[in-house]
Structure 1
Amino acid sequence: MPELPEVEVVRRGLESWVAGRTVAAAEVLHPRAVRRNVGDLPAQLKGRTLASAERRGKYLWLPLRDGASVEEEPGEALIAHLGMSGQLLVVDPLSPIEKHLRVRMGFTDGGLELRFVDQRTFGHLLVAPMTAGRGRPVPEPIAHIAADPLEDAFDDAEFAVRLRLRRTGIKRALLDQSLISGVGNIYADEALWRARLHWARPTETLTRPKIAELLAAVRAVMTEALGQGGTSFDSLYVNVNGESGYFDRSLAVYGRRDEPCRRCGAPVRREAFMNRSSYSCPKCQPRPRNARP
């Protein structure tokens, strides 16, 4: 599933190519893509302007204005969750239809259209009201999502307190979107490697300096991934122009089972974790005796 860097790459593309444009018409080609929407999506979007492109964690949204007024505060937004394979593509309206096209949207200026393509159909689009979120207005369905580590609204001190109270393994805590949003399996493994922490280290044993070191590692790996367009292991994640990211070439441990650790040379290990995998270095990240699942 795309994590924060991949979703941010898509957001930046939408900000460049879609924000400020008014919807002429929308077409739903597969009902699962709008299964969570209440109402008729094409009718809800027609004639409305996409004010900007916003993101929190792994969620994208496009605030909606009636007409082209820039003074009106958006009361609703179009939410986009990419799921496992969702793609938001900005393309020529006359270009061939993609095999897994689910929703398409044309604009009054007659330029490039926006298409939602989703092979596995786990992603979705919906229109929802805006509400007060943690630190800033967000769409109502994601008001419970915590701020992400690249947001100004993220409070390091509050995170440290809440993390220690979790009394769970550190990786499980990093994947808890109500505690910190946007971190998934790939970047959790990479940040923990940089901070020399095993994924099962109990959260209550972490000191404030170690938590600060971990947050710095999370931010560093995500910032570097952003600079390389995110991580693409296959053609399912692409930016709005259809291009893949290449941060997978820089991964230190994730997906590198039995390959040498980039820091000490020990073979990277793979361990089962929450029906998925965790990758770490047995020498740089020794498993603690008091490990938590």
Structure 2
Amino acid sequence: MPELPEVEVVRRGLARWVIGTTIDEVEVLHPRPVRRHEAGIDDFVSRLNGATVLDVVRRGKFLWLSLDSGEALLAHLGMSGQLLLEAPDAPDEKHLRVRLGLRGGTGRELRFVDQRMFGGLAVVDLVKTPDGGPGGLGGVPAEDAPVPVGLPGEPAGDGPVEGEYTAGEALIPVPVAHIARDALDPLLDVDLLAARLRRRETGLKRALLDQTLISGIGNIYADEALWRAKLHYARATETLNRPTLNRVLAAAQDVMREALAQGGTSFDSLYVDVNGQSGYFERGLDAYGREGEACHRCGSQMRRETFMNRSSFFCPKCQPKPRSGRF
């Protein structure tokens, strides 16, 4: 499933081309991808027709187009969802599900393609964010701009890159309101996160995957961050001191920035950016998928263990199992 870097790559691509365009045609080719729009297909179409896109925003793995109607087109890519910008006369993709015509801009149309159809689109209401900050990362990004994030005791940089956040848009879609800020969000409250982690009394990786604590980190980047931080996935969260938490967050931020710079991680053709191009960060993975291979740091044989119906990859020497941990 696409994680934060992959969704951010899509957001940046959309933001460059669809902000300021008006949706002038909506075609739903299969009902399943709009199943979360409870009012039905006709209502979905009528709410989008004539709406102008004001911003493209992401929080964690969720992406939405803010509309001048005061609503948002919320998208979740699921396992295989793709948001592609195509010329109107380009051949239809095999698994094309929804087509949005766009007036203005480059004349492209926005297509939602989804082979497995676990993802979807819905027009939803926006509500105020609980902390009064922007709903998520939005705006047209500067070319190759990093997302500056400062941890306690470290320089915070010059703040968000101009254009990365849309001033005053302290709004978030109702279905996403419970999702925490993500590791690359400058407004992430590290003090609050530390306190909640210690109270949660769970395993470290389980906590990193909990989108109500910190969003955007999935199985791949959790394994990569823990390998970089030299921590076992079962480390009990109540044993984390502040320097250790900072180390984990810094590792998560670094690995996701690197993945973002390389277009994300693509193990097959299902994850692509808005131009249909795959990322190549899988070539730089240190932990995920490397069972039986030599650890890039110490040379020990990497291991895989089953965790939450998934796999965890780690180095038994660099990331020793705690005497008492939580799974």
Aligned equivalent of 2:259, options 220, 225, 233: 225
After TM superposition, the structure 1 = structure 2 runs for residues 91-170 of structure 1, keeping only pairs within 5 Å, are: 91-109=86-104, 111-134=107-130, 135-136=133-134, 137-170=171-204
Aligned mates of 1:26, 1:152 — CA distance in 2? 35
Whether the aligned pair in 2 keeps the contact of 1:58 and 1:182 (CA below 8 Å) is: yes
Corresponding residue for residue 56 of structure 2: 53
After TM superposition, the structure 1 = structure 2 runs for residues 251-262 of structure 1, keeping only pairs within 5 Å, are: 251-262=285-296
Secondary structure at 2:47 match in 1: helix
Deviation for aligned residue 1:108:
2.2
1:36 paired with 2:36, answer yes
Aligned mates of 1:257, 1:241 — CA distance in 2? 33
User: What TM-score, normalized by structure 2, do the two folds share?
Assistant: 0.86
Corresponding residue for residue 80 of structure 1: 75
Aligned mates of 2:319, 2:102 — CA distance in 1? 52
Following TM superposition, the consecutive aligned residue runs of length 4 or more in structure 1 with deviations greater than 4 angstroms are none
Whether the aligned pair in 2 keeps the contact of 1:133 and 1:144 (CA below 8 Å) is: no
Aligned mates of 1:179, 1:108 — CA distance in 2? 39
Is the deviation greater in 144-153 or in 172-181?
144-153
Secondary structure at 2:79 match in 1: coil
Amino acid at match of 1:117: V
Secondary structure at 2:58 match in 1: strand
Deviation for aligned residue 1:62:
0.3
Corresponding residue for residue 143 of structure 2: none
Secondary structure at 1:52 match in 2: strand
Whether the aligned pair in 2 keeps the contact of 1:63 and 1:76 (CA below 8 Å) is: yes
After TM superposition, the structure 1 = structure 2 runs for residues 172-187 of structure 1, keeping only pairs within 5 Å, are: 172-187=206-221
Deviation for aligned residue 1:38:
3.0
Aligned mates of 2:129, 2:2 — CA distance in 1? 23
Aligned mates of 1:58, 1:165 — CA distance in 2? 25
Aligned mates of 1:178, 1:266 — CA distance in 2? 35
Aligned mates of 1:63, 1:252 — CA distance in 2? 37
Q: How many residues get paired?
A: 285
Identical-pair percentage: 63
Task: Spell out, residue by residue over 1:46-99, the C-alpha distance to the aligned partner (whole angstroms, 9 max, x if none).
Answer: 111011110000000000114xxxxxxxx2100000000000000011111111
Is the deviation greater in 28-37 or in 131-140?
131-140
Task: Spell out, residue by residue over 1:194-225, the C-alpha distance to the aligned partner (whole angstroms, 9 max, x if none).
Answer: 00000000001111100011110010001000
Whether the aligned pair in 2 keeps the contact of 1:90 and 1:241 (CA below 8 Å) is: yes
Aligned mates of 2:239, 2:45 — CA distance in 1? 51
Is the deviation greater in 103-112 or in 243-252?
103-112
Deviation for aligned residue 1:132:
1.5
Deviation for aligned residue 1:19:
1.3
Aligned mates of 1:20, 1:279 — CA distance in 2? 44
Aligned mates of 2:285, 2:57 — CA distance in 1? 27
Deviation for aligned residue 1:41:
1.4
Task: Spell out, residue by residue over 1:218-256, the C-alpha distance to the aligned partner (whole angstroms, 9 max, x if none).
Answer: 100010000000000000000000000000000001001
Deviation for aligned residue 1:291:
1.8
Secondary structure at 1:172 match in 2: helix
After TM superposition, the structure 1 = structure 2 runs for residues 202-281 of structure 1, keeping only pairs within 5 Å, are: 202-281=236-315
User: What TM-score, normalized by structure 1, do the two folds share?
Assistant: 0.96
Task: Spell out, residue by residue over 1:118-163, the C-alpha distance to the aligned partner (whole angstroms, 9 max, x if none).
Answer: 0000001001111112433111111000001111220111111111
Is the deviation greater in 222-231 or in 34-43?
34-43
Is the deviation greater in 274-283 or in 156-165?
156-165
Secondary structure at 2:55 match in 1: coil
Aligned mates of 1:152, 1:196 — CA distance in 2? 25
Amino acid at match of 1:79: L
Unaligned runs of 5+ in 2: 135-170
